[in-house]
Amino acid sequence: MASNRTFTSPALTFELVARCPVTRARASILTLPHGAVNLPIFMPVATQASLKGLTPEQLEATGCRLCLNNTYHLGLKPGQEVLDAVGGAHKLQGWNHNILTDSGGFQMVSLLKLANITEEGVRFLSPHDGSPMLLTPEHSMSLQNSIGSDIMMQLDDVLVTTSPDKARMREAMERSVRWLDRCIAAHKNPDTQNLFCIIQGGLDLDMRRECCREMLARNTPGIAIGGLSGGEAKDDFCKVVAACTELLPDLKPRYVMGIGYPEDLVVSVALGADMFDCVWPTRTARFGNAITKHGMLNMKREMYAADFGPIEEGCGCPCCRPTEEEGAMGITRAFVHHNAAKETVAAHLLTLHNVWYQLDLMRQARQAIIEDRFPAFVKGFFGNLYPDRNSYPTWAVDALRGVGIDLIQT
């Protein structure tokens, strides 16, 4: 089924468009049941079938064509019965583009104190009434089938990467492989929904490689690198991503789960990853923070009270774009400051800006890959973010040096 540029499976086509000759960065087109998306991509997280106050129409206008929903949350509210009755999550939220769902497992482990994992599945107490519940691979598939997501994730045994317990880490990795088999067997709609595997193995690169081989043997249409939740050191994170991408086939999408800081995205793209998601850009918006190419700005600070410039000069989002342009709102920092933490509108505006920033960063990276100037793009990105080269983070310098970009030398 694979030509040398295109891979096709029943519910997905992956077309490699360009490859950076220096780094491992790739530009591609991923065609899913609800349309094509350009990779690399950042996927905003609409946890409960809504992106924090934005209408689906506003989200669409940012250029977003693939967003996340969380299975755990949708399983609780509105619940599987309602999802079935309504006809899935696309219909529920009026979103005619693509949706990716997680398995629900990670949310339980991270949100619920009392979750514990057995071979059968994840045991936890219902947040409704405290009654014991069990999420199995089969149940996760059934929920995600009801949601109807374009990309479903396998249930995996997630352990924080920093766990010192090697034996437990191996158990989790091997169990994740066994659970993938159960997920594949339980998946009811392989022709209309894609199931991605998740590579586990903590920070142990050999275990990661072993997991890669096991997962690849199951031939899912896409591959995720999991378990990197931010607790680990950044250079460990980069080593894991690099070790995995080295083994992964060229013609399948590679998704690094749960990362969203702009630096992490740019470095991960250089390391050969294609897809990312994170709640941070939208969560931080609710705290009054704007993501800009010069770093994060907290609009609640008094210095912005009478700042009548846009949130970010040069930004093309509906808040910031020059007022003479179509669809421009003419939002000033002063107005966001005025309403931050006081009116929901300020959070909505920053969410709009931040989502735009993240999507646009990936658009720019993609364009740079296609135009064969990705290393210059990466250097420009770090140049904007830091006052001088001495302040570049070591982990980024090292990781990029590993794929042929020297940030320090010109």
Partner 1 sequence: MTVDNQNLESGAMRFEVIKAALKGGAAARLGRLAFARRLPIDTPNYMGVTSRGALPHLTPDNVSKHLETTGAYMALEDFIERPQQYAKRTPPIYETPTTTKHNTRLHSFTALPQSVTTVLSARRLPAVASPMGNTNASVSVFTSTGFQVLTTKEYLSAVKTLTPDIAIPPADLTHSPITPNSKRALRMAERTDEWVVDWFSELSDSNNPRISTFAPVLPVSYSIQWEYISRLAEDYLPTSQLSGLAIYDADLLPDLAEHCAALVPLPRLSLADPPTPHHILRQITLGIDLFALPFINTISDAGLALSFTFPPPTTTNTSSVSESSSSCTGGPSPLAIDLSLPAHATSLLPLTPNCTCYACTSHHRAYIHHLLSAREMLGWTLLQIHNHAIMSAFFAGVRSMLAQGVAQEGNFDEAVRRFTLAYEPEFPEGVGQRPRARGYQYKSVGGGEGRRNKPAWSKLDGKAQDEEDGRIEA
* Pick 226 or 318: Cβ nearer partner 1: 318
Q: How far is CA 239 from CA 9, 204, 271, 357, in A?
A: 30, 10, 9, 26
The answer to whether 104 is a known ligand-binding residue is yes
- The residues that bridge with 43 in the sheet, in sequence order, are 277
> Which of 102, 157, 264, 274 does the annotation list as catalytic?
102
* Pick 320 or 378: Cβ nearer Zn ion: 320
Burial code of 371-386, b = ≥16 C-beta within 10 A, e = fewer? eeebbebbbebbeebb
Phi, psi (rounded to 5 degrees) for 395: -60, -40
User: Among this protein's residues, is 388 annotated catalytic?
Assistant: no
Q: Per CB under 8 A, which of residues 45..104 are in contact with partner 1? A: 47-58, 73, 77-78, 82, 85-86, 91-94
The answer to whether 307 is a known ligand-binding residue is no
* Pick 80 or 189: Cβ nearer partner 1: 80
Which of residues 62, 101, 332, 354 is near partner 1 by CB under 8 A? 332
- The residues that bridge with 276 in the sheet, in sequence order, are 42, 256
The answer to whether 106 is a known ligand-binding residue is yes
The answer to whether 103 is a known ligand-binding residue is yes
Q: How many CB atoms lie within 10 A of CB 219?
A: 11
* Pick 193 or 332: Cβ nearer partner 1: 332
The answer to whether 20 is a known ligand-binding residue is no
* Pick 84 or 120: Cβ nearer partner 1: 84
Rounded to whole angstroms, the Cα distance separating 156 from 148 reads: 19
Rounded to whole angstroms, the Cα distance separating 101 from 88 reads: 12
User: Among this protein's residues, is 102 annotated catalytic?
Assistant: yes
What's the full length of the chain, in residues? 410
Tell me if residue 63 falls in helix, strand or coil.
coil
The residues that touch Zn ion, with contacts defined as CB under 5 A, are 311, 315, 317, 319-320, 353
* Pick 81 or 325: Cβ nearer Zn ion: 325
- Say if residues 183 and 140 touch (Cβ distance below 8 Å): yes
Which of residues 134, 217, 296, 305 is near partner 1 by CB under 8 A? 305
Binding segment for partner 1 (CB under 8 A), chosen from 197-205, 206-214, 339-347, 361-369, is 339-347
Across the chain, how many H-helices and E-strands are there? 15, 17
- Burial tier of 292 (Cβ tally within 10 Å: 0-12, 13-18, 19+): buried
- Least CB distance from residue 298 to partner 1, whole Å? 12
- Say if residues 242 and 403 touch (Cβ distance below 8 Å): yes
Number of residues that bind partner 1 (CB under 8 A): 62
Nearest CA to 403 out of 136, 24, 139, 3 is that of 24
Rounded to whole angstroms, the Cα distance separating 147 from 79 reads: 10
- Say if residues 365 and 379 touch (Cβ distance below 8 Å): no
Residue 113 interacts with partner 1 (CB under 8 A): yes or no: yes
Nearest CA to 257 out of 281, 232, 226, 282 is that of 226
Tokens of 219: 């031939």
The answer to whether 102 is a known ligand-binding residue is yes
Residue 301 interacts with partner 1 (CB under 8 A): yes or no: no
Contacted entry of Zn ion, partner 1, none for residue 191, CB cut-off 5 to 8 Å set by kind = none
> Which of 150, 264, 274, 277 does the annotation list as catalytic?
277
Rounded to whole angstroms, the Cα distance separating 111 from 309 reads: 39
Residue 148 interacts with partner 1 (CB under 8 A): yes or no: no
Binding segment for partner 1 (CB under 8 A), chosen from 12-20, 141-149, 342-350, 396-404, is 342-350
Residue 324 interacts with partner 1 (CB under 8 A): yes or no: yes
Tell me if residue 229 falls in helix, strand or coil.
coil
Q: How many CB atoms lie within 10 A of CB 25?
A: 28
Which of residues 134, 185, 233, 306 is near partner 1 by CB under 8 A? 306
- Least CB distance from residue 243 to partner 1, whole Å? 29
Tell me if residue 51 falls in helix, strand or coil.
strand
* Pick 83 or 180: Cβ nearer partner 1: 83
- Least CB distance from residue 253 to partner 1, whole Å? 27
From the annotation, which residues make up the binding site?
A: 102-106, 156, 200, 227, 315, 317, 320, 353
List residues near partner 1 by CB under 8 A: 47-58, 73, 77-78, 82, 85-86, 91-94, 110-113, 125-127, 130, 279, 283, 286-287, 302, 305-306, 308, 318, 323-324, 327-332, 334-335, 337-339, 341-349, 352
What residue numbers does the annotated binding site for substrate cover? 102-106, 156, 200, 227
Active-site positions? 102, 277
